[in-house]
Structure 1
Amino acid sequence: MNLSNHLRRRHAINIDIPAPKAASISGSDVRSATPNLFGQLQSLPENTHRAKAITASIARFICKDMCPYSVVENTGFREMINTLEPRYKIPSRQFFSEKCIPELYRSTKEELQLKLSQSVRVALTTDSWTSCSTESYVTITAHLISMNWQMQSFVLQTRTLNEAHTGKNIGELLRDACSEWTIADKSPALVTDNARNMIVAGKVAGFTPHITCFAHTLNLVSQKAMKVSSAEQLLGKVRRIVSLFHRSSTATCTLKEKQQILGLPVHKLKQDVCTRWNSSVEMLERFLEQQTAILATLMSKDLRRGTEVHTLTETDISNAEDIVKVMAPIKIATTMMCEEEQPTVSVIAPLQAKLLKHLEPCEDDTDMTREIKSTMTTDFSSRYTNSRDILLKASALDPRFKGLPFLENEEREFVFTKLTVDATNSIQVEQQEDAVEEKPPDTAEEDEMRPAKKLKAMDLLFGNIFQQVPETCPLSRSASVVSRDEVLKYRSMVPLPLTENALDWWKSHETELPILANLARSCLCIPATSVASERVFSTAGDIVSSQRSSLQPDCVDQFIFLKKKSQVDGVRKKQVIS
């Protein structure tokens, strides 16, 4: 202020010096805010806390909003930053692409590696996709249950695979990923679609268990049902009528008028997609909803296409209703698996049993309905035979399904017997690890330095039979008793309602059932579908866009990793706030 008064009195220079806010500027930032003799603010040094915070914020903005690096050179962006902080000088795009974003990626990766190392088990899902620049990528996602019983999912990596997508090549890529992220000792499970190369990849990489995506399985089973001759003919008839309304604006306008007159919802007709069976069911549902308006429209003189309506008879309408009725539970199951945040593997066995029960033939079934049910039952019942043990074990460890009512008594008891054995083995493994930790590290060296003991007659006669070693039988019996008691206690508890969260239940019963809680954390982390890796495709399409079609594979990996990690952190913050 004294300098300002001196310049105004002696040199006729008027300078307005804004008073710095103590709360927002401190230390080196205060010195950088001092104006020069011409009243201009000095630039903010790069090593100040304020400058580093702004640079880090811009880097997170680029990753979260999937902006190209060139955004830092855009006129509008630079004007906005200059308005917010005139002293800050925006670094070059090269600085962000070669230093800032890679450093953010490394620090975030280290944080994730720590979480993976603390987990009991890690489950992986994987799928491949092709960018707009025809680059082929394979994305791997990881799923785990934290020590606080929170289901967490992360994108581990996205790698180019320019070789043939054979099971061997994908398997080697999965094996390298486990080595890079040091999760090979976490007994990683694998969830993929039903493609033959993915099945081979799981065997090559040695994943146990390897579970096929339940949503993808439902899709394959349902597509076979839609290819039954009578159903396929019916879908063809409906498809031709729907195509007419999609081609003709006159037909669409007339249909809208008829809907308003008849008091029906003003909805457009849906066209099915050959790769999505549920789109065929949705097409039939919409057609049945609007059939009176469709009939009135087709009979109108303006269209002169009255012959079209005669392709659908009353039998066809009845068959369409039967298809919708049969496929309704399948559609609900598919929607639940795709929309639920983290459906675990424990849902597969009871849901498969429920759907097979629904597909049993009834007396009033038509020939087409009976053929659809038979086709679906034959295919669906042959699925998951190799992974049935882990599916039933996961269901038994889920407090919602622990009663296993879909099994016969003999099979139900066998499942819990195996669960008791697994619990006993986990206790013994833990005891062995504790014994190794308690053993002094130099015991072996002392044994070597100790002079050899002279063998006596008793040693020569019975040394190999009655060795002086601790007896392990009482420990084994004790472990089996503890495991059996805990399993019996768990089975006697009231099942959790289906609307409740199984992980929250285990969080409140972890101290009461410590052995089974550890097994539950290991099993329930496995997702029932590979939807998590497939959802990366939409994000990847926004990242590898026409604006950034030449983006390097390393940058693609970093962007997808940081984008998905920021989404996970955002969801977790909302959960904490709520």
Structure 2
Amino acid sequence: MDVNSSSVSGSPRKIFNTAARQKSKVWNVFGFYKKDGKLDKNHAICKLCRAPLKYTGSTTNLDQHATRKHREEYGELLKPHNNEQEQAAATQRATGNVITKFYGQLGDSSSRAKDITASITRFIAKGLWPYNIVEGEGFQDLIHTLEPRYKIPSRQHITNTCMPALYAQVKSQVEKELAHAERVAITTDAWTSCSTESYVTITVHYISPDWKLNVHVLQTRAFKGSHTGKNIGALLKQACVDWNLLDKDPALVTDNATNMVLAGVEAEMTPHLMCFAHTINLATQKAFKVDTVARLLGRVRKAVAFFHRSVRAAEILQEKQKQLALPSHKLIQDVSTRWNSSHDMLERFFEQHPAISAALMSRDLRKGEEVNTLKDKDFCDIEDIVKLMAPVKLVTTSMSEDKRPTLSMILPVKAKLKKNFEPSDEDSVLIREMKQAFKNDLEKRYTGLEDLFHTAAALDPRFKSLPFLSNHDAERTFTSISAEAASLHHKVTGGSVQRGPVQTDPCQSEPANGDPDVCIDVPQTQDEHKGLCVL
């Protein structure tokens, strides 16, 4: 077998280094095979090309071979290295250079090179990496180790050729999938990047013929004009034209901002639903803006910011956590636009309040007394707020589901929250005010869409008995569903009657309402069941 070929295929014999007392630099390139457990010093083996050279104790012929055959690689290996890891990396690079010389570089048109280039392009696209990652030393070293014969394309080639080709390929595939969708839902939002550039992202959701909920980001475009409802509505319309979605009767989901409400009217998309998680956020923000709560949050933020800003304070807090056997958790600073971050901040603050109080009273902190403005009653209020808002956090998490539709959950969950926020005789004044503020804001949401929500809930096996509705409203909902089902049945079968087998309800032993034709079998996960039961 050719000794060179053993370096790139098969399982080559291991080359062992000489004893440490050998000082000649040529031993960076040469070693010996073992025979009967001992080094076979009759021939020295080149680590770069595995050529055997007669060895009689002199290294002259070894040095001549390395200089003549592997001048560049030999020079690389002779460079001083701080540790064995650097030496191994140098050997790997040198070996790769030899393989490239022996076999030649992969041609740009070879299937192997095309596959690697396509894989790098997908890596950049899926990971949102910058294009100049291909110029990074670490990335080039990785690719060179995996395939020494491959020439990494330039950043310009990735930008101007590879990425547009990948975009065209993916767009064509998405268009084919969307062509088979009967209806679609569009979600959109405007956002600002760290460099204060404005963008609008549009996403499409649809159910495939095999009953899977699919999601695609159609576009993220820079938005130069004013964020008026008219401009955003025009952008939505154009996106539907570009992706052939106008005949799909698209529904629209946005946040509750006034310009988004007007955008739905401008785009003529119905129904236009407001994001339930955003609605919950708005209602909770109202509760957190109650004067007493707002002042309490301000004092907590001041303390948390102190520990984030002061290195010494953070160190003392860690010491107190160990002394009090508390978890070594960092304090959380909330973001005013996200209510759940305020809940997490209060929850963590309450968990760590013994360590926080001890740290703030430490003599090693000069300004600790200025920050330590929280009283025992404040910690009682924090505990009450955390308990009150725990179900709301659960709802926010549950409604952020992206694998199954959540429309059917809106009214049942809203009814549960309203019940949870009913005033109680045991409530403090603070909690009573929070409940009232939350309920007042939530109550005015989703008016005019009740029939849609009732139908969605009735078709969900978890809620189809509609316990949150009066008997009259429930009966009216079932009558409407039955009429629509009969109409669809007549349309599909041309008027012929075809009765199928009764499907089993996963929640009950008998079909709801005693009607086997309206019972729908939908899987329910254990986590969903647990989450809804907690409410």
Q: Does 1:54 align with 2:81?
A: no
CA distance in 2, matches of 1:69, 1:365: 57
**Corresponding letter in the other structure for 2:261:** I
CA distance in 2, matches of 1:252, 1:48: 57
**More contact order relative to length (CA 8 Å, sep ≥ 6):** 1
Indicate how the Cα distance of structure 1 residues 48 and 481 shifts in structure 2: closer, same or farther if over 3 A, else same. closer
1:140-539 → structure 2 map (5 Å cutoff)? 140-303=202-365, 311-338=373-400, 341-342=403-404, 344-430=406-492, 475=495, 488-490=515-517, 497=524, 499=526
Q: What whole-Å deviation, never above 9, does each CA across 1:251-306 have from its counterpart, x for those lacking one?
A: 33333333322222233333332222222222222232233333333344444778
Indicate how the Cα distance of structure 1 residues 185 and 49 shifts in structure 2: closer, same or farther if over 3 A, else same. same
Indicate how the Cα distance of structure 1 residues 88 and 248 shifts in structure 2: closer, same or farther if over 3 A, else same. closer
Indicate if the aligned counterparts of 2:189 and 2:201 stay in contact, CA closer than 8 A.
yes
Corresponding residue for 2:200? 138
What SS is found at the alignment partner of 2:219? strand
**Corresponding letter in the other structure for 2:410:** I
CA distance in 2, matches of 1:134, 1:310: 37
Percent of aligned pairs sharing the same letter: 50
Indicate how the Cα distance of structure 1 residues 302 and 200 shifts in structure 2: closer, same or farther if over 3 A, else same. same
Corresponding residue for 1:525? none
Q: What whole-Å deviation, never above 9, does each CA across 1:423-479 have from its counterpart, x for those lacking one?
A: 2333354468xxxxxxxxxxxxxxxxxxxxxxxxxxxxxxxxxxxxxxxxxx49x69
What SS is found at the alignment partner of 1:489? coil
CA distance in 2, matches of 1:42, 1:331: 60
CA distance in 1, matches of 2:403, 2:500: 38
Indicate if the aligned counterparts of 1:125 and 1:142 stay in contact, CA closer than 8 A.
yes
CA distance in 2, matches of 1:346, 1:260: 47
Indicate how the Cα distance of structure 1 residues 167 and 51 shifts in structure 2: closer, same or farther if over 3 A, else same. same
Indicate how the Cα distance of structure 1 residues 378 and 70 shifts in structure 2: closer, same or farther if over 3 A, else same. closer
CA distance in 1, matches of 2:458, 2:219: 33
Corresponding residue for 1:463? none
**Corresponding letter in the other structure for 2:282:** L
Q: Please report how far the alpha carbon of residue 328 of structure 1 lies from its aligned counterpart in structure 2 after TM superposition.
A: 1.4
CA distance in 1, matches of 2:381, 2:459: 41
Q: Please report how far the alpha carbon of residue 242 of structure 1 lies from its aligned counterpart in structure 2 after TM superposition.
A: 3.1
Question: Structure 1 stretches of 5 or more lacking a match?
Answer: 2-13, 22-38, 433-474, 503-578
TM-score (norm 1): 0.66
Indicate if the aligned counterparts of 1:225 and 1:376 stay in contact, CA closer than 8 A.
yes
Corresponding residue for 1:31? none
TM-score (norm 2): 0.70
Indicate how the Cα distance of structure 1 residues 479 and 310 shifts in structure 2: closer, same or farther if over 3 A, else same. same
Aligned pairs, how many?
Answer: 431
CA distance in 1, matches of 2:162, 2:372: 67
Indicate if the aligned counterparts of 1:323 and 1:369 stay in contact, CA closer than 8 A.
yes
Greater helix share, 1 or 2? Answer: 1
CA distance in 2, matches of 1:125, 1:239: 34
CA distance in 2, matches of 1:401, 1:295: 47
CA distance in 1, matches of 2:377, 2:123: 58
Q: Please report how far the alpha carbon of residue 339 of structure 1 lies from its aligned counterpart in structure 2 after TM superposition.
A: 6.3
RMSD in angstroms over aligned alpha carbons? 3.7
User: Is 78-87 or 392-401 further displaced after alignment?
Assistant: 78-87
What SS is found at the alignment partner of 1:143? strand
Q: Does 1:121 align with 2:183?
A: yes
